[in-house]
Amino acid sequence: MEDVLDVRDLRMRYGKTDVLNGVSFAARRGEVLALLGPNGAGKTTTIEILEGFRIRSAGQVSVLGADPAHGGEAWRARTGVVLQSWRDHAKWQVRELLTHLGRYYAPYSTASVARPWDVDDLLETVGLTPHARKRVRNLSGGQRRRLDVAIGIVGRPEVLFLDEPTAGFDPEARRDFHEVVRRLADREEATILLTTHDLDEAERLADRILILAQGTIIADGSAVELARAMSGQSEVRWSRGGQRFARAADDATAFVRELFRQYGESVEDLEVRRASLEDTYLALVRQAEHGVPRGLTAVAA
Amino acid sequence: MNPALVAARAGLSRGWIEFRQTLTTPGDLIAILIPAGGFLAAMIWTRHTHVPGTHFSLGTTMLVSVLGLNVVIYGVVTIGDLLIVEREDGTLLRAKAIPNGMLGYLLGKIVNISAQIAFAVTITLLTGAFLFTGLAIRSPGSWLTLAWVLVLGLLATLPLGAVLGSLFPSQRSAGPWWLLLLTGLAAISGIFYPITHLPVFLQWTGQAFPPYWLGLGMRSALLPHAMEAVEVGHSWRHLTTFGVLSAWAVAGLVLAPAVLRRMARRESGSTVAARREKAMRGT
């Protein structure tokens, strides 16, 4: 089956600065991809190129089989973008706004995808039913973000883009949001690309995690795969004679055996910890930033 | 069904919804009523003053000319300012993210602004009809002239406002320019005093822009024929009015799509976020 997203050797240059130098990845139907990376790594640039809001410098990009730079309105109707609202449409009522924005999608209904999403059903899905008649400006921050999601999916998109969707969410809103995204991917088979700083969120939500650093993808795989590939790097902590020690070890078992052989019973408080996604992420980014050869780009590729 | 047609219909209802919101939002309503009230006060003040060389009330002449000025205020400044604000707050980006959204958005603006103009013209005319004498509002010809001047005036100003709105980077930077543009043009457009009493070069400058012609058109519609005598060339100059306003309309309509497209192309989530941060910092 053809990939919904297909990015090959994507490059972006602003003036003399290369923000992206050769980004490649692909996504299948119904897959949720999380794009992780330090600030300035090019996450937003990447997602905006895929949304068709930014023109790339070089490389090939295909979203739903079309180049986003020349997508056209029919292509646009099959994509969804979750934007962070600020003051826009402040005077509109929630239901009124969703009904209005949904109208544009009606001509793009197909036998398999009925567009737009039924407004009552959509309100229920994002948990805004009790606030349907409220003006947008009277919504709380969390409710407003749910509305952003609702606007992004009102056209029943086949591919959905979210740039840091849960920034500023409280834990409850975050959990509800995760539910909506998972449901969208599982039930509607939407392909979802989101950027986030929240590793926990990436781990919970994404089928695959892409780590972007220094303008290129330095890791591509599920959270488990990434951790396993880095599992050589376990952390061993112990104390001896009241003093605490911590070492990163490639082979933790061998390290501990050696530790006991040397110090025997004076070793206390032993702890061996496998790398978490956070450790994996930090190690990978550190490697990329210090030019250490990358060992993980081929994971699950 | 044709997607563009669907979007156009959505745009019409969008304009109507926005207009209704304007009427039900106290702040917006006040923004319409205060200038209208200010003009009305100026008219009442000059009610018993005569237009030089006649026995006709200057206040009545001003009332009619202000109808034309209204078209310029809403058609250029209000729409331009709305475009700036809604570009800043991300409304435009939302329109860009949905199919044919920009078409619907722009049509919505046109409907909303036209309705606001109709509203402002109606309340000015209604109060004027009660307070002032000498309005020629009984003949069908008056209304016909009023109608074509209004429509042509909208065509001449709305695209122009959209172009100007696309060019300013932010509302903050645009504010003083709008004021300068408006007061400057109003001063030399014969709205508040006959243009023939200005120095010749200012007369020519005033006649290069739409406000003068909108005012003249309104006067030709709603003032007695005898008042032709105080105008340039002692004539209502319908043909020239039509020509000048059409020229501005054509120029605007040719320029606007390209300028609007250029502005829309630059919009993305990060540009809106950058403006939001800037606004939050208050710089």
ipTM: 0.88
Residue B80 tokens, joined? 């331009």
Tens-of-pLDDT digits for all 301 residues of chain A? Answer: 578 999 999 999 998 999 999 999 999 999 999 999 998 889 999 999 999 999 999 999 999 999 999 999 999 999 999 987 778 999 999 999 999 999 999 999 999 889 999 999 999 988 899 999 999 999 988 888 889 999 999 999 999 999 888 877 778 878 888 888 888 899 889 999 999 888 888 988 999 999 999 899 999 998 878 877 765 577 889 999 889 998 888 788 889 999 999 998 899 999 988 777 787 888 888 888 876 554 444 343 3
- The residue extents of the domains of chain B are 3-281
Nearest alpha-carbon partner for A266 in A289, A245, A295, A291: A245
8 Å CB contact of B98 and A85: no
**Side chain identity at residue B225, one-letter code:** H
Q: If you count them, how many residues does chain B have? A: 283
8 Å CB contact of B90 and A81: no
CA distances from A157 to A179, A188, A210, B15 (A): 17, 9, 22, 26
**Side chain identity at residue B266, one-letter code:** R
Sign of the C-alpha dihedral computed for residues B260, B265, B268 and B273 taken in this order: negative
**Separation in Å, CA of B271 to nearest CA in chain A:** 10
Sign of the C-alpha dihedral computed for residues B272, B278, B281 and B283 taken in this order: negative
Residue A253 tokens, joined? 């078992």
8 Å CB contact of A88 and B101: no
Helix (H) or strand (E) holding B93: helix B91-97
Residue B220 tokens, joined? 């030709």
The terminus-to-terminus CA distance of chain B in angstroms comes to 47
Interface probe for B, chosen from A93, A103, A158 (most Cβ of B below 10 Å), is A103
Q: Are B195 and B189 in contact (CB under 8 A)?
A: yes
Residue A77: phi and psi, rounded to 5, are -65, -25
Residue A171 tokens, joined? 């834990």
Nearest alpha-carbon partner for A113 in A184, A193, A32, A34: A184
Does residue B16 carry a pLDDT above 90? yes
Adjacency order of strands within the sheet including A17-27: A17-27, A5-14, A58-63
Q: With an 8 Å Cβ cutoff, is B23 touching chain A? A: no
